[in-house]
């Protein structure tokens, strides 16, 4: 059972994203309150009815290979068709190409509901949206006309091909090649691994975006170009033509997200795989970043998806499961475990953690929308919030899923309840789209020095000024400021990288805590003298997050500033001793 948290989503959209302000701009004028409500509720209902019932079979049966192609579990193609027909794919896609041109923030909410219902299946739209972004920003008019309408509608799906066996975090090490053809296209050759939805039977065509090297390209990331390589070649009239020889070699057997086929793809092995350059030659990384930035936020959103689903499951279980009398209580009758203090702690942590990362993600999405309106400060903020959102939210997703198992006791460890699947599914999110270690390195590297360090300082100062009344947030802001100053002024590169992950957690917790405080004020105001359970619950979750979880982040100051010396006290051989 999954119930989309539509009231919570609408509340966060209003008080954190400030969707009404966004709708005041001409470009987003269609995002009227009625439209926002219709989309949030409609996506939630669709996710509950069409995607959620397939989550279990996706895990147990999973995607399989048959005769060189990927076959999805029963029901997936029908669910995908319904997703396309109901117009859920193109919420934020450009209106010129059949999309609805609505804010990215609204697409975020719909993806949250779909992914909470079925995280593995919802990876397919995440990759497709990234492909739309890359082509819309960097493709030629002809490429846009030919590919965007079908991608925006979901009739075709997209993939992102960076990884090769020797090129994971180090994308610059990739060796796939592209050689020019006489017809203006390129022959793509090489093997890509771990390609999400690299093959499947839900859509008529798959549009692969592939990083490769042209002849004599410089070494490293500077020599990489981006190519569009369709599974089936596309005729001038947009119809699907011959096979383009993108061969699915195998799919991986994984810990989780079993309904998401993770493919090894071979290009140009069984015949020519014809590709088309997107953007300028050697401009691949820039184009890929366009695709990756929003995909990183959407992967962060997977933490929210799992957090929501795992919390709902744990709450329902804890209300039913009866064990032991209440310690110190008068009655010796056993009670529902929900009323034992430690179970309360776990449940509140799950609820507050989920709400905190949802707020972080929705805030970041709002900045992405404001950036598209030409607001340069918002663009800088979106850049800064991207690694924070991706890493913190996915780490939190795992913690919540793990607590979900703990709440279930032994029943959590057996597969029957579904709690175990959430944990297994959640585990990938800190790894792909740039590991969380890489996100932290990006934070203390590029993002910390962006605009001469002003973006990071500016956000911290704004938050510090607004959390004056909250001792835990004030202390975290001060500790985060001390680490930031040390990193900006005194630390060596190794010092910074060694402390990057704890620093990221501190900064992300601060932003999330600030947004929880903001929601608390709004909820207090709406509640007045009333007794609305949703508003009371919102206030309690914010209080718990700020009182119990924020100080943990403050305690990371030492870890963030421990420096490189303890990390390199041992040689590699001694480390293994
Ligand atoms: C299920 C799944 C789906 C995926 N989908 C896609 C996809 O659709 N398209 C695609 O292109 N790729 C995809 N990937 C690949 C994924 O993005 C990579 O696995 C990821 O970027 C890490 O690369 P790697 O596995 O080679 O690990 P490595 O790069 O070998 O990293 C191993 C460890 O070392 C750390 N590390 C490496 N370099 C550094 C450094 N410089 N500084 C600090 N730490 C470092 C990492 O953080 C990590 O902890 C997918 C992977 C999986 C498992």
For residue 546, is pLDDT > 90?
yes
Look at residue 292 in the predicted model and tell me its pLDDT. 85
User: Residues 145-179: pLDDT tens digits?
Assistant: 999 999 999 999 999 999 999 999 999 999 999 99
Answer whether residue 448 is part of any domain.
yes
Do the beta carbons of residue 119 and residue 306 sit within 8 Å? yes
Torsion of CA 364, 435, 393, 136, to 10 degrees: 30
Answer whether residue 508 is part of any domain.
yes
Pocket of ligand 1 (CB under 6 A): 160-163, 168-169, 194-196, 254, 262, 428, 431-432, 434-435, 437-438, 441
Instruction: Report CA(291)–ligand 1 centroid distance (Å).
Output: 17
- Encoded tokens for 427: 């585990």
Answer whether residue 4 is part of any domain.
no
Determine the residue of 70, 173, 432 to mutate for testing ligand 1's pocket, defined as the one with the most ligand atoms within 8 A of the Cβ atom: 432
Q: Measured between alpha carbons, how far is 473 from 517 in angstroms, rounded to an integer?
A: 9
Query: Coil, strand, or helix at residue 499?
Result: coil
Q: How many CB atoms lie within 10 A of CB 165?
A: 13
Instruction: Report CA(166)–ligand 1 centroid distance (Å).
Output: 10
User: Residues 466-512: pLDDT tens digits?
Assistant: 999 999 999 999 999 999 999 999 999 999 999 999 999 999 999 99
456-465 mean pLDDT: 98
Query: Percentage of the chain surpassing pLDDT 70?
Result: 100
User: Residues 32-49: pLDDT tens digits?
Assistant: 999 999 999 999 999 999
Domain boundaries, position 557:
436-577
Nearest-atom number in ligand 1 for the CA of 197 is 8
For residue 124, is pLDDT > 90?
yes
Give CA separation, 174 vs 192, 367, 423, in Å.
Answer: 9, 32, 32
Answer whether residue 544 is part of any domain.
yes
Answer whether residue 527 is part of any domain.
yes
Nearest-atom number in ligand 1 for the CA of 192 is 11
Nearest CA to ligand 1 atom 1: 262
Answer whether residue 497 is part of any domain.
yes
Nearest CA to ligand 1 atom 44: 437
pLDDT band at 277 (very low <50, low <70, confident <90, very high): very high
Answer whether residue 520 is part of any domain.
yes
Q: Measured between alpha carbons, how far is 173 from 175 in angstroms, rounded to an integer?
A: 7
For residue 288, is pLDDT > 90?
no
Nearest-atom number in ligand 1 for the CA of 436 is 47
Instruction: Report CA(449)–ligand 1 centroid distance (Å).
Output: 24
Instruction: Report CA(416)–ligand 1 centroid distance (Å).
Output: 31
Tell which residue, 362, 500, 352, 523, has the closest CA to residue 439.
500
Answer whether residue 519 is part of any domain.
yes
For residue 1, is pLDDT > 90?
no
Query: Coil, strand, or helix at residue 117?
Result: helix
75-86 mean pLDDT: 97
185-191 mean pLDDT: 98
385-399 mean pLDDT: 98
User: Residues 239-248: pLDDT tens digits?
Assistant: 999 999 999 9
Determine the residue of 122, 164, 169, 265 to mutate for testing ligand 1's pocket, defined as the one with the most ligand atoms within 8 A of the Cβ atom: 169
Q: Tokens 């009670």 belong to which residue?
A: 335
Instruction: Report CA(163)–ligand 1 centroid distance (Å).
Output: 8
Total domains in the fold of the chain? 1
> What's the number of CA atoms in the CB half-sphere (13 Å) around residue 72?
22
Q: Report helix angle 533-544 to 500-527, nearest 10.
A: 150
- Catalytic residue numbers read 433
Nearest-atom number in ligand 1 for the CA of 161 is 11
Nearest CA to ligand 1 atom 24: 168
Determine the residue of 252, 435, 441 to mutate for testing ligand 1's pocket, defined as the one with the most ligand atoms within 8 A of the Cβ atom: 435
- Encoded tokens for 346: 């776990």
């Amino acid at each position: 059972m999954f119930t989309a948290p539509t009231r919570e989503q609408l509340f966060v959209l209003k008080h954190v994203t400030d969707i009404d302000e966004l709708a005041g701009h001409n470009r987003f004028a269609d995002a009227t309150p009625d439209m926002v409500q219709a989309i949030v509720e409609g996506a939630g209902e669709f996710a509950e009815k069409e995607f959620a019932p397939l989550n279990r079979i996706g895990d147990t049966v999973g995607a399989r290979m048959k005769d060189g192609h990927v076959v999805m579990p029963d029901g997936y193609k029908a669910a995908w068709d319904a997703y396309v027909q109901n117009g859920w794919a193109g919420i934020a896609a450009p209106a010129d190409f059949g999309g609805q041109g609505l804010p990215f923030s609204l697409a975020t909410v719909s993806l949250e509901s779909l992914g909470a219902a079925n995280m593995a299946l919802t990876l397919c739209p995440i990759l497709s949206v990234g492909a739309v972004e890359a082509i819309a920003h960097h493709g030629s008019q002809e490429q846009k006309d030919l590919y965007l309408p079908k991608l925006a509608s979901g009739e075709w799906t997209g993939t992102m091909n960076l990884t090769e066996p020797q090129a994971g975090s180090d994308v610059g090490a990739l060796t796939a090649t592209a050689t020019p053809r006489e017809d203006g296209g390129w022959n793509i050759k090489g093997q890509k691994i771990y390609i999400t939805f690299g093959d499947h039977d839900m859509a008529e065509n798959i549009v692969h975006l592939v990083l490769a090297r042209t002849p004599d390209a410089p070494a490293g990331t500077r020599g990489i170009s981006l190519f569009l390589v369709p599974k089936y070649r596309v005729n001038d009239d947009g119809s699907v033509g011959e096979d383009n020889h993108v061969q699915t070699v195998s799919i991986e057997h994984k810990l989780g997200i079993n309904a998401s086929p993770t493919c090894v793809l071979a290009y140009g092995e069984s015949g020519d795989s014809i590709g088309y350059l997107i953007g300028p030659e050697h401009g691949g990384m820039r184009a890929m970043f366009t695709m990756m930035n929003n995909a990183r936020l959407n992967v962060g959103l997977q933490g929210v998806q799992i957090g929501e689903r795992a919390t709902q499951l744990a709450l329902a279980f804890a209300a039913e499961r009866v064990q032991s009398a209440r310690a110190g209580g008068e009655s010796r009758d056993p009670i529902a475990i929900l009323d034992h203090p430690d179970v309360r702690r776990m449940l509140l942590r799950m609820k507050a953690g989920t709400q905190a990362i949802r707020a972080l993600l929705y805030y970041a999405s709002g900045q992405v929308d404001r950036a598209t309106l030409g607001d340069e400060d918002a663009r800088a903020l979106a850049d800064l919030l991207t690694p924070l959102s991706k890493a913190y939210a996915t780490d939190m997703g795992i913690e919540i899923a793990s607590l979900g198992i703990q709440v279930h006791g032994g029943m959590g460890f057996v597969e029957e309840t579904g709690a175990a699947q959430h944990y297994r599914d959640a585990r990938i999110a800190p790894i792909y789209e740039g590991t969380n270690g890489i996100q932290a390195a990006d934070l203390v590297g590029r993002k910390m020095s962006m605009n001469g360090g002003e973006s990071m300082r500016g956000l911290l100062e704004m938050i510090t000024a607004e959390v004056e009344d909250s001792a835990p947030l004030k202390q975290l802001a001060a500790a985060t400021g001390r680490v930031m100053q040390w990193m900006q002024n005194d630390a060596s590169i190794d010092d910074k990288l060694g402390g990057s992950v704890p620093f990221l957690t501190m900064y992300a917790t601060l932003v999330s805590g600030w947004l929880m405080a903001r929601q608390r004020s709004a909820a207090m105001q709406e509640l007045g003298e009333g007794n609305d359970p949703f508003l009371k619950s919102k206030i309690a979750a914010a209080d718990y997050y700020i009182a119990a979880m924020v100080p943990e982040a403050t305690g990371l100051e030492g870890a963030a500033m421990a420096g490189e010396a303890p990390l390199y006290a041992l040689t590699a051989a001694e480390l293994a001793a």
